[in-house]
Amino acid sequence: MKVSAVVPAFNEAGRIGAVLRTLRAAPSVSEIIVVDDGSADETAREAEAHGVTVVQLKENRGKAAALDAGVGKASQDVLLFLDADLTGLEVEHVEALLKAYAEGDGDIVIGVFRDGRKGTDFSQLMVPFLSGQRVLSRRVWDRARRTVGDMDFGIEVALTKLALKEGWRQVKVNMDGVSHVRKEEKRGLCAGLLDRLSMYWDILRSLIRKL
């Protein structure tokens, strides 16, 4: 099974390198595509230094559009989506996600944080369908594509809702010791909180939108 990894990134310089090093060491990953979503820092340059394919968007278009741009460049039919700010990610986590997909028990595999940080562990325990760590086919993405473009961080909710509607099987895989850097840590308390509220608004729009 050949896999294209797509990593959307917005101002993730200093963090994305750890994710890319792990992906490059994962034997099941055939190619890695980073989509720089209009970053104002050195995200693209840092990604290029790791020898991966980099797609640069001129302006920040949101996570869903960034993922779609990455899928458009991907050469494989199996897609692995990972966030650029993960901490604690190891090769075994990547391989566990891909193994679960290869076994054929699910149309979508969702990675769920566990034993990483209390805040992220709790949120993913309550709402695991918000996780951005996923494995799915190009066919599934193309079916969901009509929601891409104005859903931003709500794309995970949109995929989950569509999976329920279409009868797709979703399998969860625990990612022990994995977490991510919170927005307030990246941008400071006030700016990070505003970003978080914007993300929640996108999620709410996705929840109430009819597919």
Per-residue pLDDT of the chain (211 residues; tens, 9 = 90+): 999 999 999 999 999 999 999 999 999 999 999 999 999 999 999 999 999 999 999 999 988 899 999 999 999 999 999 999 999 999 999 999 999 999 998 999 999 998 655 555 456 555 556 788 999 999 999 988 876 545 555 788 888 888 888 899 999 999 999 988 765 456 555 554 455 555 555 555 555 565 5
Domain-located, residue 149: yes
Domain span at 35: 3-180
Domain-located, residue 199: no
Domain-located, residue 195: no
Domain-located, residue 40: yes
In 145-188, which residue ranges form alpha helices assigned H by DSSP? 155-166, 183-187
Tokens representing 198?
């914007």
Domain-located, residue 99: yes
Domain-located, residue 156: yes
Domain-located, residue 135: yes
Kindly report the CATH number assigned to the domain that includes residue 21.
Answer: 3.90.550.10
**How many domains is the chain built from?**
1
pTM over 0.85: no
Encode pLDDT of 18-67 as tens digits. 999 999 999 999 999 999 999 999 999 999 999 999 999 999 998 889 99
DSSP E strands in the chain: the ranges are: 3-9, 29-37, 53-57, 78-81, 86-87, 108-114, 134-137, 170-176, 179-180
Contact between 159 and 134 (Cβ < 8 Å):
yes
Domain-located, residue 188: no
